[in-house]
Amino acid sequence: MFSIHYFASIREQLDSDGEMLETSADINTVADLVTVLARRGGAWALLEDQQAVLVAVDQAVADRSRSLAGNEEIAFFPPMTGG
């Protein structure tokens, strides 16, 4: 089972701060997970925008090619700037 969290403007656009999602044979990478979520349609398609949405797996920023085993914590968040 994946523990998924949505932060900042992504949370607002999806009207959700997170969910638990069952593992599936269709989800082997972060990119696969994004595809499954984006298929929901509407605002969910925003997750496919790699420039506007970053992904962290187990609290470390991850590339969308990162493999998933099915028990990870995954966060989607907009790019941040510091100062």
Q: What pLDDT, on the 0 to 100 scale, is given for residue 83? A: 58
- Give dist(CA 21, CA 82) in Å, integer: 32
| Structural domains present in the chain | 2-77 (3.10.20.30)
**Element counts in the chain: helices (H) and strands (E):** 2, 5
Please determine, for residue 81, whether its predicted confidence score (pLDDT) is greater than 70: no
Q: What pLDDT, on the 0 to 100 scale, is given for residue 71? A: 92
Q: What pLDDT, on the 0 to 100 scale, is given for residue 70? A: 87
2-59 confidence digits (pLDDT tens)? 999 999 999 999 999 999 999 999 999 999 999 999 999 999 999 999 999 999 999 9
15-31 confidence digits (pLDDT tens)? 999 999 999 999 999 99
**Mean pLDDT of all residues belonging to the chain:** 95
